[in-house]
Amino acid sequence: MKKIEAGAIQYVLVVSIIIMIVLFAFISLVFLQNRIRLKSEVYKETVHASYVGFDYLSQKQLPYNTPTEVQFSELDGEKTSITKKHWGVFDLAIVRSTLKNETFQKIALLGNQKEDRKALYLQNNNQPLVVVGNTKITGDVILPQKGITTGNISGVAYYGNELVYGNIKTNSGQLPTIHNLDYIIQITQEYPLDEVQMFDLKEGIKLRNSFEEKTLGFETEAPLDLRNMSLEGNIVLMSRSQIRVFRSAVLEDVILIAPKVILESGVKGSCQIFAEEKIWIKEGVELNYPSGLTLIDSSILKGKNKEINIQIDKRAQIKGVVLYYNKNKESDYTTQVAVKEGAKVTGEVYCNKNFELGGSVDGFVYTSNFIANQAGGIYMNHLYNGQINAKAISEHYKGMFVETDKVTIAKWLE
């Protein structure tokens, strides 16, 4: 019998081992690829279910602060939890989808997108709207039954070619309803502190709080000056007297509540402000979308010496909501909301008393009256050099829940 040399046997064994290693590596690679593919498919399903959850939210009236569980696919174990909350004049939604060991979550601020977007809704007070100077209204409008006409203030006439650059309809009723007005009034007067975890606010602080966590809050009886700090997310600051924000403070998506709130020149960021007496936005302030200025006035209007409730100075830019509401039926000849010459609101203004527009609104205006303080006189339902342009705002703008409470995504938060 021919003998096989030991070296040859060793060679065969080495080759065999190498082949086994290669085969094992190949099988492991195939297994790993299949596992990654399956994991990726599962993850894609959770992502898809989350976005379907936001579509579902826009079509259903879900309760606040109560998770709603829905299954959007036929896959075993797929589950999507939807929680809707209030966040100022907007709503907030947390949508979390799970499938097997995968979880995907998105948090968004919700607003209202009206299909029939009017540049102006002016309440019927048996007076026509009088346009003067460089006033220009672009978009469809709803006006009092007496319509619109031109006027003259101290020798200044109307310079436009058309009274309205859009279609005109008339109304005989009140301003449209704000669907979450009761909640807005509640948090302006007394924020529910049982929903808040208090924290220590000090100069130099840098704090970000997720909207998945409990709201962080700070409350004081004294005037509160915000400077040299950065605050972002699920945070509420409250003062029983006044809040003043300086340009060295960086605010993002936070809520400020005080009788008086002042934003000093040069402030930039985004926030929602709630006051009962005064909101003063000084020159050059820039508030990014979706911000909000809300003043709920419970006082009886006292006459021409009453100061302006919401004042937006020249070169200030507000992207979002400006809301003034007074439940008292009395009216006077004072200004409740003033957008000064050179100031701009990109979004919507809702004022159920007197609105003085010397600057511009790219978006929509709802008001009971316009007022113009010019040449030492007070002119009711006069619009002097004001610009309203519903066509200049993005079709994706989401704002207050006026006329309808249908929700859709205003901003992705997390």
- For 202-241, the pLDDT digits (tens) are 999 999 999 999 999 999 999 999 999 999 999 999 999 9
Q: What is the pLDDT of residue 32?
A: 59
Query: Is a pLDDT exceeding 50 seen at residue 247?
Result: yes
Contact 234, 213 (CB under 8 A): yes
Total domains in the fold of the chain = 2
Same domain, 125 and 87: no
Same domain, 106 and 248: no
In a domain, residue 294? The reply is: yes
What residues does 230 pair with on adjacent strands?
A: 206, 250
Same domain, 105 and 202: no
Q: What is the pLDDT of residue 396?
A: 87
Same domain, 106 and 125: no
In a domain, residue 412? The reply is: no
Comparing 64-73, 83-92, 180-189, which segment has the lowest mean pLDDT?
64-73
Same domain, 77 and 149: no
The residue with greater pLDDT, 18 or 138, is 138
Contact 151, 132 (CB under 8 A): yes
Nearest to 89 by CA among 309, 414, 399: 399
Cis status, amide bond into 144, omega within 30 of 0: no
Query: Is a pLDDT exceeding 50 seen at residue 373?
Result: yes
Same domain, 304 and 261: yes
In a domain, residue 411? The reply is: no
Same domain, 32 and 102: yes
Contact 238, 222 (CB under 8 A): no
Q: What is the pLDDT of residue 3?
A: 53
Contact 97, 385 (CB under 8 A): no
Q: What is the pLDDT of residue 41?
A: 56
User: Of 59, 88, 111, at which residue does a domain stop?
Assistant: 111
Nearest to 277 by CA among 294, 301, 259: 259
User: Of 61, 76, 111, at which residue does a domain stop?
Assistant: 111
C-alpha–C-alpha distance, residues 271 and 255, integer Å:
6
What residues does 323 pair with on adjacent strands?
A: 294, 350
Same domain, 76 and 142: no
Q: Which domain holds residue 134?
A: 120-403
Comparing 53-67, 167-181, 277-291, which segment has the lowest mean pLDDT?
53-67
In a domain, residue 328? The reply is: yes
User: Of 111, 130, 162, at which residue does a domain stop?
Assistant: 111
Same domain, 213 and 266: yes
For residue 37, name the pLDDT band (cuts at 50, 70, 90): low
Comparing 40-44, 150-154, 258-262, 371-375, which segment has the lowest mean pLDDT?
40-44
In a domain, residue 87? The reply is: yes
Same domain, 257 and 380: yes
For residue 156, name the pLDDT band (cuts at 50, 70, 90): very high
Mean pLDDT in the chain?
88
Other Cβ atoms less than 10 A from the Cβ of 45: the count is 19
In a domain, residue 410? The reply is: no
Average pLDDT over residues 315-329: 94
Q: Which pTM does this prediction carry? A: 0.88
Q: What is the pLDDT of residue 376?
A: 85
Same domain, 352 and 290: yes
In a domain, residue 414? The reply is: no
CA distances to 52, 56, 98, 234, 410 from 106, rounded to whole Å, are 11, 14, 12, 15, 13
Query: Is a pLDDT exceeding 80 seen at residue 199?
Result: yes
C-alpha–C-alpha distance, residues 168 and 390, integer Å:
14
Q: What is the pLDDT of residue 102?
A: 76
pLDDT in tens, 380-411: 999 999 999 999 999 889 999 998 777 888 99
Same domain, 103 and 196: no
Instruction: Using DSSP bridges, classify how beta strands 168-171 and 136-138 pair: parallel, antiparallel or unpaired.
Output: unpaired
Query: Is a pLDDT exceeding 90 seen at residue 311?
Result: yes
Query: Is a pLDDT exceeding 60 seen at residue 39?
Result: no
